[in-house]
Structure 1
């Protein structure tokens, strides 16, 4: 059995299962499986994509360093101790 025949058999079985395992639909399942296998063989092979990285020259220009931001705490008034 060739690899293509095995693939068609797998597709037919998956179709049969997905439809709830009906009886009397074998020829339709095999036809659908043949079409799927044919489409799969004609489809371009997928190649893994490389992660996109931004090069520093294409990225936005670097911003000049700014002064660090200082956060001022709110003033609190000290109350004199109660005697």
Structure 2
């Protein structure tokens, strides 16, 4: 079995599972899987750097090719608190009341 046939079989199985494992839909699943495999084969391959690989842009020695080293790594984004996060209020104290928002003015556009 070729690699393409294995990939089509994997896609067909995933489609079959995602539809609740219906009976009698094999040919439709197989055709959908064949089209997916063809599209995957024709799609341009992403470079390791674009795929987010940690080793992108490094030589076999592990040094960066661009000469910037660790300074070029982007910082991870800070995690935002969900808007619904409740403040803990000690027992016996009243929670601070929120001020009502002023109504928005209609935009001039």
Classify the TM-score, shorter chain: 0.5 to 0.7
Q: CA deviation at 1:48?
A: 2.0
More helix by share: 1
Point out where structure 1 has 5 or more consecutive residues left out of the alignment.
Answer: 54-83
Aligned to 1:72: none
TM-score, reference length from structure 1: 0.59
Task: State the TM-score, normalizing by the size of structure 2.
Answer: 0.45
Q: Which runs of 5+ in 2 are unaligned?
A: 50-55, 58-71, 73-109
Partner residue, 1:46: 46
CA-to-partner distance for each residue in 1:33-57, whole Å, 9 max, x for gaps?
A: 0000000000011112269x4xxxx
Q: Distance in 1 between matches of 2:34 and 2:48?
A: 27
Partners of 2:15 and 2:46 lie apart in 1 by: 24
Task: Map 1:64-75 to 2 at 5 A.
Answer: none
Task: Tell me the C-alpha RMSD between the 2 structures.
Answer: 2.0
Separation (CA, whole Å) in 1 of partners of 2:10 and 2:48: 25
How many residue pairs get aligned? The number is: 54
Alignment of 1:30-45 (within 5 A): 30-45=30-45
**Larger RCO: Structure 1 or Structure 2 (Cα < 8 Å, ≥ 6 residues apart)?**
1
> Which stretches of structure 1, 4 residues or more, deviate above 4 A after TM superposition?
none
Higher radius of gyration, 1 or 2: 1
